[in-house]
Amino acid sequence: MSKLKEIRELQNLTQEELAESSGISVRTIQRIEAGTIPKGYTLRTLSKTLGIPENVLQNIQSIEIEEEQPTAQEKTKQTEEATINYSLLKIINLSSIPFVVLPPLNILIPLFLMFKLKQKNLLVKQIISMQIIWTIFAPIIFMLWIFLKLRGNYTLAIMVLIVLSNLFIIIRNAIEIDRKQKLYCKLNFNMI
């Protein structure tokens, strides 16, 4: 219910009586009660006729409209949540496993599946972003180990440890997708 209608009814006025006492047309009053926000002369005249401050009529009106209609961001989030297919999300996540030793493919295959399966949502973008970050940092860590020659010659062990860390991320996210429909390992930003 609009604020104008609420105040008009509290004062036991019909639309016609308010129109007559304010000099504003009945049609304008109907439009305002339907959701149009009064401005200028109309706002001043109605607030003076009803004996209320102008901002009461204008502010509450706009708040009610916002409450009735979700924002564009809320609509996008609702649509995105409705389109998430968690079994496809799990397939996209697990598609990186065969390619953990071939870093470019652990990004490209999930990216290809994202477009092929039409799953362009925040969780898929997080999965692919996590693989991109891992692909960037894995060689850096490996090269640092080799150049710094830390604690002996365990080059093969470091390679295996790096690959196992990616396997852990993938499998842990798959388990969390099954349990809670969210990711265990995620970033605060997306790279795609």
* Domains present along the chain, CATH in parentheses: 3-68 (1.10.260.40), 75-180 (no CATH)
3-state secondary structure of 6: helix
Cβ(184)–Cβ(173) under 8 Å?
yes
Residue-level pLDDT at 47: 86
Angle between helices 40-50 and 15-22 (to 10 degrees): 110
One digit per residue, pLDDT tens: the chain, 192 residues? 678 888 888 888 899 999 998 999 999 989 888 888 888 888 888 888 888 887 777 754 433 434 445 566 665 555 555 567 888 888 888 888 888 888 788 888 888 888 888 888 888 888 888 888 888 888 898 888 878 876 667 778 888 888 898 899 889 988 888 888 888 877 777 777
pLDDT at 164: 92
- Which positions ≥6 away from 65 have C-beta within 8 Å? 35, 37
**Closest among 97, 104, 102, 12 to 50, alpha carbons compared:** 12
Q: How far apart are CA 107 and CA 49, in angstroms?
A: 67
